[in-house]
Structure 1
Amino acid sequence: MRIITLVLAGAALGYAVGAASAQEMGDPAAGEKIFNKCKACHAIGEGAKNRIGPELNGIVGDKPGADRGGYKFSKGFQDWAADKTAWNETLLTQWLTNPRAVVKTTKMAFPGLKKDADLKNVIAYLASFDAKGGKQDPAAALKAAASK
């Protein structure tokens, strides 16, 4: 009986943790507004092309530095990205908080986002696009990226 109770308690806890994680995900609609700060250099969605920075379709779960339509990343970024497996919420949060603190020689001149809510929201927005610029479930994309 004790084992069954522990299994049920663990299942309930796992459900509660999963529910909390889903509630903690940012709001893609709010993230779209924050992404306006990024549009001068980046594009996302159907027909997105590289600009000063790479297009960002399917970025969540993709390997940092992976081919983005021929975009040429800086050597410093390539060196930093070499041992990274995927852009997940943690890595994107680090990067978007202050890109130059992560890679001093990055081409990205953006000073970063300082508010936690802005970071979560823009990451949720990025996660809502698949590799072709179509819409996808951002929670599923973030979950898949976390397991890489």
Structure 2
Amino acid sequence: MKQIIPAICLALGALTAPALASEATFEKVKVDAGATLFGSECRRCHATGSDHESYGPPLENIVGRAAGSYPDYDYSVALEASGIVWTTAALRAWMEDNAGFMPGTKMRHVGIKDSTVQDFILAYLESITTRDGSTISD
């Protein structure tokens, strides 16, 4: 009986490996789709990093950043004074209807209503966010 338990554990471990690979594959697909959607929906005005020109503030490390805090960008008073932090929920609300979410913002934007598109863009934004404050290119 003692010999069967390790064999069962090994077999169960092998069964979970494909699930982990599938999750990683699915996450990569989401991030890749998000990068493409970012390119078509957001890149007109936003770069990901400060090393690329953009009309709006760069969005690298946006998740968890205080709204209106990117250095040397001329934000609206409404956004600067909002006191919000860009969580995924706040970013989702912003993508859907930024003028409704933050009256007085300067950003001109056609809302992204499709929650799947939002999910993909959020996955991409998460992928270009570090938790230690360094940039992805560092």
Same fold (TM > 0.5): yes
Identity %: 26
Cα contact 2:95–2:118 (8 A) shared by 1: yes
Partner residue of 1:59? Answer: 62
Q: Given the alignment of the two structures, is residue 123 of structure 1 paired with residue 135 of structure 2, yes or no?
A: no
1:30 is displaced (CA, Å) by: 0.6
1:45 is displaced (CA, Å) by: 4.2
RMSD across aligned positions (CA): 2.6
Larger Rg: 2
TM-score normalized by the length of structure 1? 0.64
Identify the structure with bigger relative contact order (alpha carbons < 8 Å, sequence gap 6+): 1
Q: CA distance change for structure 1 residues 128 and 46 in 2, over 3 Å: closer, same or farther?
A: farther
Partner residue of 2:80? Answer: 78
TM-score normalized by the length of structure 2? 0.69
Runs of 4+ in 1 over 3 A off after TM superposition: 22-26
Partner residue of 1:34? Answer: 37
Question: Counterparts in 2 of 1:1-148, with a 5 A limit?
Answer: 27-36=30-39, 37-45=41-49, 47-49=51-53, 51-66=54-69, 68-80=70-82, 82=83, 84=84, 86-130=85-129, 131-134=134-137
Q: Report SS of the residue matched to 1:120.
A: helix
Counterpart residue identity of residue 65, structure 2: D
1:93 is displaced (CA, Å) by: 0.7
Partner residue of 2:13? Answer: none
Unaligned runs of 5+ residues in structure 2 are 1-19
List per-residue Cα deviations over 1:64-103 (Å, max 9, x = no partner). Answer: 121x2311110111222x2x2x311111111111101112
